[in-house]
């Protein structure tokens, strides 16, 4: 059963003589006619590729990682591979303690899903042909998972099961350390065989038409996306899968 019921950080000059005034008026008139005849400039310049990055819990919205947290090297690799591409960080709290009981964490997830949805809709509404790439790490992966694949997230207080961004031109999705990981997902990469602390139900292992567009990285020792005890494993997916992730994105973007 698909989990996706689609609803689908770059005053006029004074005239000093009558002759000067007449000349100035003539120039203004000519420029006005010219501007009316010229085609209107585009409101925005749309890149071929645009990346949305969502940071992990406890990382800053500013600073050297530019609001991407542990997703930063993944985002940077894609930007470097595609000159002219652009990126923006999802603005959300990314705070709390990752668990099923921490109210701050749950509120952050809800805010993240809402802001991610708003930012993607805003950009995609202006640049409909731009290819979109989504990169989220840990809590950032979770909010992308919830927004793209739908199905609700009752443990985080999200009862609406509709996907909120699945209608847009999304070509590739990277989800390292996603605590919604569920064994059986076709897009899983890693050796985890146990789901995350907020794993989806067994009947939500598909993200519908986006199954082939996703890579979700999770290893057995990870304390958040699986049932391990290692924070180092959770934080180490770029070192382990960075080159694989870039190759995957390239295969999706062409």
Give the residue numbers annotated as catalytic, written as ranges.
138, 222, 234
Contact partners, residue 54, CB within 8 Å, separation at least 6: 68, 71, 89, 90, 92, 94, 112, 116, 134, 135, 136, 137, 139, 140, 141, 143, 144
Question: b/e for 123-157, b at 16 or more Cβ within 10 A?
Answer: bbeebeebbbbbbbbbbbbbbbbbbbbbbbbebbe
Distance (Å, rounded) from C-alpha 157 to C-alpha 214?
Answer: 25
Q: How many CB atoms lie within 10 A of CB 71?
A: 34
Distance (Å, rounded) from C-alpha 238 to C-alpha 2?
Answer: 29
Distance (Å, rounded) from C-alpha 114 to C-alpha 126?
Answer: 19
Q: Where are the alpha helices (DSSP H) in 40-71?
A: none
Could you tell me the sign of the dihedral formed by the alpha carbons of 222, 143, 45, 131, in that order? positive
Is residue 207 classed as helix, strand or coil in its secondary structure? coil
Distance (Å, rounded) from C-alpha 82 to C-alpha 61?
Answer: 24
Residue 142 in tokens: 């979770």
Gyration radius (Cα) of the chain, Å: 23
């Amino acid at each position: 059963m698909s989990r996706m019921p689609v609803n689908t950080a770059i005053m006029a000059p004074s005239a000093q003589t009558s002759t000067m005034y007449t000349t100035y008026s003539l120039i203004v008139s000519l420029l006005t006619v010219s501007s009316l005849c010229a085609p209107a400039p585009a409101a925005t310049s749309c890149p071929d590729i645009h990346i949305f990055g969502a940071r992990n819990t406890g990382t800053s919205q500013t600073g050297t990682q530019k609001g991407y947290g542990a997703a930063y090297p993944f985002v940077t690799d894609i930007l470097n591979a595609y000159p002219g591409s652009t990126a923006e960080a999802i603005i959300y709290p990314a705070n709390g303690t990752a668990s099923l009981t921490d109210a701050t964490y749950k509120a952050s997830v809800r805010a993240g899903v809402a802001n991610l949805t708003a930012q993607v809709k805003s950009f995609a509404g202006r640049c409909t042909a731009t290819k979109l790439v989504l990169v989220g790490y840990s809590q950032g992966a979770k909010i992308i998972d919830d927004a793209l694949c739908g199905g609700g997230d009752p443990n985080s207080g999200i009862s609406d099961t509709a996907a909120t961004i699945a209608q847009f031109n999304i070509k590739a999705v990277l989800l390292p350390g996603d605590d919604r990981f569920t064994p059986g997902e076709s897009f899983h990469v890693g050796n985890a065989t146990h789901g995350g602390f907020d794993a989806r139900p067994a009947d939500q292992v598909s993200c519908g038409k986006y199954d082939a567009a996703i890579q979700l990285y999770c290893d057995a020792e990870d304390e958040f996306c699986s049932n391990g005890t290692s924070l180092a494993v959770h934080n180490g997916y770029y070192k382990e899968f960075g080159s694989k992730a870039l190759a995957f994105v390239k295969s999706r973007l062409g």
